[in-house]
Amino acid sequence: MRAAFPSVPAESLDPRARKMLVFEILIVLGLSLGRSGVYAVVELLEKATEGPLAGQTTTLNPVLDENPWFDLTYQLLGIFFSLLPVALVLFLLTEPGKSAFRRIGFTFEKPLRDFGLGAGLAAVICVGTLGVYAAGRALGITTALVPAALDTYWWTLPVLILSAVRHAVLEEVIVVGYLFLRLRQLGWGTPAIILTSALIRASYHLYQGIGPGIGNFLMGLIFGYAYVKTRRVMPLVIAHALVDITGFVGFALFGPAIGIGN
């Protein structure tokens, strides 16, 4: 397999530069998905002390305020501020003559290829997610998921779509695009990078139960392999957004009527 990421060879980094790069990775993860992973593990442990996971419910997009206008305001603020770590990593990856967007393939240069691959990945992940969720519920290791619990307003569906895109951009840019490039610079091999990325992805979904953790670990392996092959994060963002939009909007429109989440 050809080198996955053209970057600074590990041997060219002096000890101080390597240490600074490690600190940078830890800070970025500590401000974003690594932090979420720690909280998710603690939340899972708390839920385990409260009773069987099968009898508990996790809401992914809850109401944030009883007043609809303040609810909308809080929803939009949450989406905006959660994307700041993405701006940070794009800033950190920008070098003279090197666009961060181009370095990780977060561009619209290949729309047909990106949307085609993204749609294909989304279909695979959607089917797999339903299977893992059903198995997790049957085994009692997954909480009942409520993808959307927002009240019905004119802004409900647009906010759910924005929330889905937010998750897609945040996760794929940081846990794939940024992390793969930086770990490659530290001299990590491709299998180790894919495995580490998948484990981090699994960790911050554990608040939903063991099942979603396993499902997202498998998703991380698939996405990591796809990124190594294409060197583009955009198809992953598209796939992730499609999966979440299907879940969030689909539940908001049809979930309660057909009993999904029970």
pLDDT at 3 over 70: no
pLDDT tens for 85-99 read 999 999 999 999 899
Q: Which H helix or E strand runs over 57? A: strand 57-59
Q: Rounded to an integer, what distance in angstroms lies between the CA atom of residue 130 and that of residue 128?
A: 5
Q: Rounded to an integer, what distance in angstroms lies between the CA atom of residue 145 and that of residue 81?
A: 25
Can you list the alpha helix ranges (DSSP code H) found in the chain? 15-31, 33-50, 68-82, 84-93, 100-104, 111-139, 156-172, 179-185, 190-203, 210-230, 234-258
pLDDT tens for 172-230 read 999 999 999 999 999 999 999 999 999 999 999 999 999 999 999 999 999 999 999 99
Q: Rounded to an integer, what distance in angstroms lies between the CA atom of residue 164 and that of residue 158?
A: 10
pTM: 0.91
Residue with tokens 């796939």: 239
Identify the pLDDT of residue 257: 46
pLDDT tens for 118-164 read 999 999 999 999 899 899 999 999 999 888 878 788 999 999 999 99
79-117 in b/e burial notation, b at 16+ Cβ within 10 A? Answer: beebbebbebbbeebeeeeeebbebbbbeeeeeeebbeb
More confident residue, 33 or 255: 33
Q: Rounded to an integer, what distance in angstroms lies between the CA atom of residue 158 and that of residue 171?
A: 20
Residue with tokens 């932090």: 35
